[in-house]
Chains A and B, each alone.
Chain A
Amino acid sequence: MTAKNPAHQEWIDNELAESLARFPERKDRFTRHGEQVVPRLAVPDEINDRYLEDIGFPGRYPFTRGVQPTMYRGRLWTMRQYAGFSTAAESNQRYRYLLDQGQTGLSVAFDLPTQIGYDSDDPMSLGEVGKVGVAIDTLADMEILFDQIPLDKISTSMTINSPAMILLAMYIAVAERQGVSSGKLRGTIQNDILKEYVARGTYIFPPRPSLRLITDIFRWCAEHAPQFNTISISGYHIREAGSTAAQEVAFTLANGITYVQTALDAGLELEVFAKRLAFFFNASSNLLEEAAKFRAARRLWARIMKNRFNAADPASMMLRFHTQTAGNTLTAQQTDNNIVRVTIQALAAVLGGTQSLHTNSRDEALGLPTEDSVRTALRTQQIIAHESGVADTVDPLAGSYYIEQLTDGIEHEAVALLNRIDDAGGVVACIESGFIQSLIEDASYRYQQEIEQGKRIIVGVNEFRVAEEKSVPAMRVDARVEEQQIRRLAEVKSGRNRHDAANALQELERTAGSDSSLMEPVMAAVRSYCSLGEICNVLRKVFGEYRR
């Protein structure tokens, strides 16, 4: 293979050759029809310094065009539908169904009590058990959740933040019982507490001890679970709360900077943990802005890692990310329209180079999605992957005047916000003063007002309406789930070795009050069938609770 340009040739001989040697492409040839071959990577005839600096080649700094040299020609993104509801047994059924349907990774949704560290029998859990995700009280629930799912074969993403360490410990314990060592586990825990204070609300402890839990996880996994992504730094919820695209990038990367700095301050090795950082973004409906946003975020993070933190290994500078289509764009009116919205949004994510993708189901504005609508959502991704042709060439939008201008513009706007956050003393200070929240609220209010005033058209909502009955068969969680779960918890508690459980909690409390890593005592507590609520209550006692 020869290229006109020496810089291009150099990339072909190095990054591309290495990549092809290790990961062959999906097909020998990608064609449009007949003999019309789709090029792997289209580049301009004249390659100047500006191109190399701002756009470059895929798999090479600044990664504007993607993190791998062949992108989806090598491997398609992971199709990962977020799912989970009711009891562990019912969620297990849904996971096995999704895997049968060709899904390639699991994504576990936990119910709110689990996410906030309450057992199902806690008074705070009233009405919430099993509602937005699966209820997990003890290791016994986790064993059922992954029953007959080989944990060495799949990757699992878990949307869990404040109690991430506990759920990770349970996952590892289940794997052990399957004979799978932690070193073989692949997946991601969200573990991103900062955006909880800003946008999502499932915090338990104050920022400082929360950040300590996160670095303890980084440290343990670097040694014992090197293939596991220890954090998924999430802009998704910031955007759902109503931020702009540039704010989503800025606040997410600002949080990323904080985690990196905290880990460095704790003495961790940058080039070890930086590779295990993953990101999570929102794909909204403005197709071109969203596609440019992903490219801007990737480039800006690479620059931050290189210039601010002096990373040397390119792998430490790569922003790898999961994308979910924007839940807040789904409408309760004419719900089939949501399939179209999701298609556009998913396309933006793929054009932007996402590593994995969740497509929302059309009925999610009404409640939990039904099995039918989840399948359609998955099919949407499969159609983009196999029929649209966008996966056959790398970064097809590059070089468009508009796209490159948008990419630059979003990066500049994000840099300006990052500077303001730095000037104001960093993310934690800005969360405490409410600065970040107020910028998001203002953006959100402006946007919503535009819709209310008809300045922004939402099809089926403020224009093109029809009279309809909103009787889409949304799935409901049986009210008896709460009782069942409470009964199960009582059984587990009475069946466990009381002495072991008490000892484990005592040891946990002692360690929490010291500087030592909490991972081992949490693992011990989990194995002794201490409940999530019991473990969190010990930590609440030592760390205090964050309230606002």
Chain B
Amino acid sequence: MELLQQLHRGDSRSIGRAISLVEDQDPAAARILAGLDQTRIEQSLVVGITGPPGVGKSTLTAGLIRHLRDQNQRVGIVAIDPSSPVSGGAILGDRIRMMAHALDREVVVRSMATRGRLGGLCASAGAAVRIMAASGCQTVIIETVGVGQTEMDIIRLADMTVMVLAPGFGDDVQAMKAGILEVADLLVINKADQPGADKLALDLGAVFTDTADRDLRLLRTVASEDRGLDMVLDRIMLMAKQFRQDNTLQKRRQHSFALETMDWAMEMLRPKISGLIAPGGKTDPRLAAQEIVKKLGQESSQ
């Protein structure tokens, strides 16, 4: 199919369309996903960038893009914003900070909305990442806002995760301190020239048990002035190398494969299940669900 050929040649239009077809669960999606260049996907590096709103993630992402371009890499960015729970619409504004690269054909940006799906977003975002990788992006960045469960799930699609924080966002840190190192491979204190940065560094430093580990994983940047970004990129690359050597990368990909598979399965079952729910059912919802699962099982064994 022509779309696939064009996509692998790096054609913007085809990449954009392919992602849409998958996101909208178009019948063509299966063929697209089956035809992606697996070698390119395996060789690519997927970096998750997350953190509370206002810490400067997009500015940091834009800075990393610049540095990656200096190394002549083709870069993909999947930027995710929340959908309005009321209308289902969304404003996707992360692209604004990346407009400096708008005319660079080697920088592929796709904004996506969470679309209020329970899990389906991981599936769509994962597909977008792989489409970009197949189009030749050596590095793909997934950017999400916030530190909630959805964001954490999305970020598990990444081979490694950078958590961005800034002075003045201490409460967010406090709330998640305990689990922070399980989620984040690198902790970046952005706006490190502002008052409160030292205190934040101290707070975050205390999360580590090992000072060598801390010095490796806790970094300071002023993304708006391009300070410290080269260091962040160095560390990303260093970790990527290490992760490939000690099989971490492989394990994480297996994990995200399972996660996405579950998502897709749930997405595909959803309409079927919803068709099986009897209107105005009289029994308990849990019992009704059991009945449906039983029916689905019978159907598939027929």
Residues of A whose CB lies within 8 Å of any CB of B are 206, 208, 424-425, 429, 432-435, 547-548
Contact = CB atoms under 8 A, between A and B. Distances in A.
A547 B195 contact: no
B99 A547 contact: yes
19 contacts: A206-B225, A425-B167, A425-B194, A425-B195, A425-B196, A432-B56, A432-B59, A432-B191, A432-B224, A433-B54, A433-B55, A433-B56, A433-B166, A435-B54, A547-B97, A547-B99, A547-B100, A548-B96, A548-B97
A208 B224 CA distance: 11
* Residues of B contacting A: mostly: loop
Interface in B202-224: 224
A30 B100 CA distance: 62
Contact of B54 (A206, A208, A434, A548): A434
Contacts of B116: none
A223 B114 CA distance: 58
Nearest to A424: B168
Nearest to B225: A206
Interface of B: 54-56, 59, 96-97, 99-100, 166-168, 191, 194-196, 224-225
> Considering the complex of A and B, which 10 residue pairs feature the smallest CB-CB distances, nearest first?
A433-B54, A425-B194, A425-B168, A547-B100, A424-B168, A548-B96, A429-B194, A548-B97, A434-B54, A432-B224
A547 B191 CA distance: 17
Nearest to B59: A432
A434 B191 CA distance: 14
A206 B99 contact: no
A433 B96 CA distance: 14
A435 B166 CA distance: 14
Contacts of B166: 433
Contacts of A547: 97, 99-100
B99 A429 contact: no
Nearest to A428: B194
A23 B300 CA distance: 97
B120 to A, nearest CB: 28
Contacts of A434: 54
A204 B213 CA distance: 41
Nearest to A208: B225
Nearest to A435: B54
Contacts of B195: 425
Nearest to A547: B100
Given A208-B225, A432-B56, A433-B56, 19 more contacts: A206-B224, A206-B225, A424-B168, A425-B167, A425-B195, A429-B168, A429-B191, A429-B194, A432-B59, A432-B191, A433-B54, A433-B55, A433-B168, A434-B54, A435-B54, A547-B99, A547-B100, A548-B96, A548-B97
A547 B56 CA distance: 13
A548 B100 CA distance: 9
Contacts of A548: 96-97
A429 B194 CA distance: 8
A206 B55 CA distance: 17
Nearest to B56: A432
B253 to A, nearest CB: 34
A543 B96 CA distance: 21
B196 to A, nearest CB: 7
A208 B194 CA distance: 13
A429 B168 CA distance: 10
A429 B192 CA distance: 12
Contacts of B194: 425, 429
Nearest to B96: A548
A429 B54 CA distance: 10
B54, B55, B195 — most chain A CB neighbours (10 Å): B54
A424 B54 CA distance: 11
A313 to B, nearest CB: 30
A435 B169 CA distance: 13
A47 B194 CA distance: 47
B151 to A, nearest CB: 18
Contacts of B100: 547
Contacts of B96: 548
A435 B53 CA distance: 10
Contacts of A425: 167-168, 194-196
Contacts of A424: 168
Contacts of B196: 425
Contacts of B59: 432
B101 to A, nearest CB: 11
Contacts of B224: 206, 432
A208 B97 CA distance: 19
A206 B166 CA distance: 19
B65 to A, nearest CB: 13
A434 B97 CA distance: 12
A49 B99 CA distance: 57
B199 to A, nearest CB: 13
Nearest to B54: A433
A429 B55 CA distance: 10
A439 to B, nearest CB: 13
Contacts of B54: 433-435
A425 B191 CA distance: 11
B67 to A, nearest CB: 15
A545 to B, nearest CB: 9
Contacts of B55: 433
A429 B167 CA distance: 10
Contacts of B167: 425
A429 B100 CA distance: 22
A429 B197 CA distance: 13
A424, A432, A435 — most chain B CB neighbours (10 Å): A432
A419 to B, nearest CB: 14
Contacts of B168: 424-425, 429, 433
Contacts of B97: 547-548
B257 to A, nearest CB: 36
A190 to B, nearest CB: 24
Contacts of B225: 206, 208
A432 B168 CA distance: 13
Contacts of A432: 56, 59, 191, 224
A441 to B, nearest CB: 10
Nearest to B93: A434
A548 B99 CA distance: 8
A265 B166 CA distance: 24
B82 to A, nearest CB: 15
A98 B270 CA distance: 71
